[in-house]
Amino acid sequence: MGQKGSSGLFRAVSAFGVVGFVRFLEGYYIILITKRRKMADIGGHAIYKIEDTNMIYIPNDSVRVTHPDEARYLRIFQNVDLSSNFYFSYSYDLSHSLQYNLTVLRMPLEMLKTETAQTRQESFDIFEDEGLITQGGSG
């Protein structure tokens, strides 16, 4: 699994991307995309399907406390099949619709800045009714 380079560093794993981080009882794990398959092109942007992932514990032995339920949580989490219908792109926002993405691409920069500013002003503040002061508001 590992290769030692000329710099003395050791390659633990090669990955195409980071799915995310998860924390259970003993510490953090990083979930990496280790195998991908190109599924489509949308406007010149490649769309990939996750084929395989690897979960690696991020060592922090100075604060690691062994917990008897850690292995059980790991097994439960590893039952989630990330290779089933999970897609990503390096350059295309898959969290928006095609219509939205095409609209944003065609929108002049000045209009986009104005729309973003208006959205920020119209945002909902959950603390407003409580009379609490938030960073952007006066309470």
List pLDDT tens digits, range 66-120: 788 888 988 888 888 777 889 999 998 899 888 888 787 666 666 656 665 555 5
Compute CA distances 14 → 33, 75, 104, whole Å: 9, 23, 34
CB 32 within 8 A of CB 18: yes
Q: Answer whether 4's CB lies under 8 Å from 14's CB.
A: no
In a domain, 128, yes or no: no
More confident call, 103 vs 138: 103
Evaluate whether residue 132 is within a structural domain.
no
Lowest mean pLDDT among 8-12, 48-52, 82-86, 119-123: 119-123
> Are the C-beta atoms of residues 36 and 51 closer than 8 Å to each other?
yes
Residue range(s) defining the domain that contains residue 29: 17-94
* Domain assignment of residue 116, yes or no: no
In a domain, 118, yes or no: no
Instruction: Say which residue, 121 or 6, is predicted with more confidence.
Output: 6
Residue 21 lies in a domain: yes
- Report whether pLDDT(1) > 60: no
Domain count across the chain: 1
Q: Given this model, what pLDDT does residue 88 score? A: 93
What does the mean pLDDT of the chain come to? 77
Q: How far apart are CA 74 and CA 66, in angstroms?
A: 13
Calculated CA dihedral for residues 106, 109, 110, 116, nearest 10 degrees: 90
In a domain, 39, yes or no: yes
